[in-house]
Amino acid sequence: MMEGGGQLLRMAVTYSAVMGIPIRVRRIRGGRSPPGLKAQHLTAVKAVAEICRGEVEGLRIGSTEIEFKPGRARGGSYSFDIGTAGSISLLLQCVAPVAAFADSTVELRIRGGTAVKWAPPTMTMREVVWRALRAMGFRGEINILREGFYPKGGGVVDAFIEPILKLRAIQTDGPGRVELIRGISVCGKLPSHVAERQAKSAIETLRGSGLEAEIERRVLSGREQPLSPGSYITLWVERAERPCYLGADSLGERGKKAEIVGLEAAESLIEQLKTGMAIDLHTADNLILWCSLAEGESTFTTSRLTLHTATAMELAKIITGVKFKVEGQLNKPAKISCRGIGLKNPNL
């Protein structure tokens, strides 16, 4: 369906767990080659099943169909190892709503990739996406103990999520005047000047557009040293005239100059700020599930309506019955509204 990737599976399993609805998912990752479950998808479903005492059939690498029967979400301490450089961020995306609707605090320790292709860095989840969720009443914190890069992964992240009775709607339309961009430039098992050059390039690019930035440089060593060499930079709007949740990031690669890494992230953030919208393109697709569950009408603007976001809305309609109003076109700035179902935590 539409985007056809692992996002559909993660969202469906999350909805199943928080709403208590058994589901069957067919043609999993049918839009991908090869199709079927990979390690990160399998671990995400296992994690949700463990937290909500669910039963799963068909859960194996390469499987294209699963059946999931949820139980009640329970608090406690849980540990999950993706076993590859699969994205910790995407696992958190799946698990966080389930933990928020548990009966007590959920403590997570997750091993995998923190900054890998095709997923937001875990730092971006912490500084942008979870900040937006806290505006909806979510209570959670992320602590990155060790970064994990491709190919070995091995990143270690602790997350703490408190239960909530219900979510409130989010309403934000644009940042207005931006006072400060903040960021972090990270490298590990690489020369220390990589982090410096990434940061310097981003600062100079942002300054060229009249934006002030403060970027922390972090060179990973000792216990923080990653298993594989890698680097990235994450930027976000720290202070603005009105509430907004805008971020951008870029990942280092072999043969890619550090200056290009910083430039890419800065240019992405600048382009999104020029739209005058309040939510970046990746945070927008994260918010759809939460808005559909919240009480009241959520309204937000996004710098780009992606196929990921459109797919999330389509699945939300199918499972919750909510209706979305979208003003804007695919791959353009847009305004999204929906009245959530006002789900109350059945475990409190």
Neighbours of 145 (CB within 10 A): 13
pLDDT in tens, 42-63: 999 999 999 999 999 999 999 9
For residues 134 and 14, what is the distance between their CA atoms, to the nearest angstrom? Answer: 19
Question: Looking at residues 311-324, what average pLDDT do you find?
Answer: 97
Q: Which fold has domain 174-274?
A: Dihydrodipicolinate Reductase; domain 2 (3.30.360)
CATH superfamily label, 6-171+279-339: RNA 3'-terminal phosphate cyclase domain (3.65.10.20)
Cα 202-206-207 angle, rounded to 5 deg: 115
Average pLDDT score, the chain: 97
Reported as a single tens digit per residue, the pLDDT across 189-221 is 999 999 999 999 999 999 999 999 999 999 999
pLDDT higher than 90, residue 185: yes
For 274-285, letters b (16+ CB in 10 Å) and e give ebebbbbbbbbb
Q: Are 128 and 134 in contact (CB under 8 A)?
A: no
281-293 and 307-320 helices, crossing angle to 10°: 10
Contact in structure between 134 and 108 (CB atoms under 8 Å): no
The two three-digit tokens of residue 161, written as one number:
């999520």
Comparing 31-40, 111-120, 126-135, 167-176, which segment has the lowest mean pLDDT? 31-40
Dump pLDDT digits (tens) for 264-303. Answer: 999 999 999 999 999 999 999 999 999 999 999 999 999 9
**What are the structure tokens assigned to 224, written together?**
């923080």
Confidence of residue 5 (pLDDT cuts 50, 70, 90): confident
- 3-state SS class at 313: helix
Residues acting as catalytic residues: 308
- The residues of the chain that CATH labels 3.30.360.20 are 174-274
pLDDT of residue 1: 87
- Output the CA–CA distances (angstroms, integers) from residue 196 to 68, 105, 119, in the order listed: 47, 38, 24
317 has a pLDDT exceeding 90: yes
pLDDT band at 33 (very low <50, low <70, confident <90, very high): confident
User: Which residues in the chain are classed under CATH 3.65.10.20?
Assistant: 6-171+279-339
User: How much is the pLDDT for 32?
Assistant: 85
E-assigned strand segments in 63-165 = 66-69, 76-81, 106-112, 139-146, 155-162
For the residues 165-191, what does the mean pLDDT come to?
A: 97
